């Protein structure tokens, strides 16, 4: 029964009536900003590498699984930024790869405020394997799969973003993919599945609460996702930072069919230049009856000699 439910959901994703969001979401959005906004490239003032793994809806067969790696660095005395991102997303019979290259130009407004304007180009591979042993086909006569054992498609896209950094806060707005590429495999319905542009708005800050032997700071952050014909999506996070090294936080994700989509718990620990993070999402929607939540792990490495202080949000975002 579980398999029937899941693959009914998967094939609905390729129908004309599909209104949901197509791009992956991440609980560590406050660290994984380059994947959402090309203007972030080089904004830390030093090279940074990030690796992320996400397993969504544990116990739900064929549930989304995401792997992502990114790198970005400033160039030419911090006047521009360059970034690369590679991501692999697996959902049921689908397997997609997305590679993007970002360029950002930095404008210094004053001693405490900078604005980055970024653009990016991307190439995406989209594959569907209907011969996977775990595949359960409800309708063998479905035109989408009648003549397809393995469907492959490559599409290109481009996006743009804006990223403002002022002392202990940041704000960003972006559209990573502008073109509504057709990604469906049913040739009888040309526009059966179309990539819909996603508009992201992100913001966050750092509020010192105490200094001295034990320093504590409050770090609020949020991410809004707006997609045409889809419900409004919002992630809100509130974290406490202890001694510039240990971070504990909780997030609430709006959506789902009840009081919300999920409540998320995050832990992050900084060891010199390395940041290690783990998150667990507790599902609030009706899908809670069919899964054991989601997990996400992240590793961040900053190529910087000096330790960034509390007044610099680049240490935390």
Whether 291 and 283 have beta carbons less than 8 Å apart is answered as yes
Q: Is the pLDDT of residue 116 over 90?
A: yes
Q: Output the pLDDT for position 10.
A: 39
Q: Is the pLDDT of residue 50 over 80?
A: yes
Cβ neighbours of residue 262 closer than 8 Å, sequence gap 6 or more: 252, 253, 256, 281, 282, 283, 284, 285, 293, 294
Per-residue model confidence as pLDDT tens digits over 51-86: 999 999 888 877 889 999 999 999 999 899 999 999
Query: What average pLDDT does the chain have?
Result: 83
Q: Output the pLDDT for position 41.
A: 96
DSSP string covering 197-254, please?
Answer: PEEEEEEEE-EEEE-SSS-EEEEEEEEEEEETTS--EEEEEEEEEETTTEEEEEEEE-
Euclidean distance between CA atoms 164 and 297, whole angstroms? 27
The full set of domains in the chain, from first to last, is 2-90+99-120+160-315 (2.40.160.40)
Q: Is the pLDDT of residue 229 over 60?
A: yes
Of 63-72, 155-164, 182-191, least confident by mean pLDDT is 182-191
Euclidean distance between CA atoms 36 and 202, whole angstroms? 9
Per-residue model confidence as pLDDT tens digits over 214-227: 889 999 999 999 98
């Amino acid at each position: 029964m579980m398999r029937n439910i899941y693959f009914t959901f998967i094939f609905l994703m390729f129908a004309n009536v599909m209104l949901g969001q197509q791009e992956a979401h991440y609980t560590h959005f406050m660290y994984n900003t380059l994947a959402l906004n090309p203007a972030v490239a080089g904004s830390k003032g030093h090279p940074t590498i990030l690796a992320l793994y996400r397993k969504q809806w544990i116990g739900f067969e064929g549930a989304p699984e995401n792997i992502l790696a990114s790198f970005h660095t400033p160039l030419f005395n911090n006047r521009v930024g360059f970034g690369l991102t590679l991501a692999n997303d697996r959902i049921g019979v689908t397997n997609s790869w997305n590679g993007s290259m970002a360029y950002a130009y930095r404008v210094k407004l004053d001693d405490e405020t900078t604005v980055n304007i970024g653009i990016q180009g991307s190439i995406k591979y989209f594959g569907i394997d209907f011969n996977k042993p775990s595949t359960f086909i409800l309708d063998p006569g479905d035109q989408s799969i009648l003549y397809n054992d393995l469907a492959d498609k490559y599409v290109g896209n481009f996006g743009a973003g804006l990223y403002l950094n002022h002392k202990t806060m940041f704000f960003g707005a972006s559209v990573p993919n502008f073109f509504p590429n057709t990604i469906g495999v049913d040739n009888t319905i040309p526009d059966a599945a179309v990539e819909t542009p996603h508009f992201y708005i992100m913001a966050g800050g750092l509020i010192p609460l105490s200094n001295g032997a034990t320093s504590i700071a409050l770090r609020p952050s949020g991410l809004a996702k707006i997609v045409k014909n889809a419900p409004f999506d919002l992630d809100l996070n509130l974290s406490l930072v202890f001694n510039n090294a240990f971070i504990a936080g909780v997030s609430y994700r709006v959506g789902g069919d009840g009081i919300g989509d999920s409540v998320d718990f995050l832990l992050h620990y900084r060891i010199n230049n390395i940041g290690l993070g783990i998150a667990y999402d507790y599902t609030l929607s009706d899908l809670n009856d069919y899964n054991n939540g989601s997990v996400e792990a992240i590793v961040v490495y900053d190529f910087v000699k000096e330790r960034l202080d509390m007044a610099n949000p680049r240490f935390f975002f």
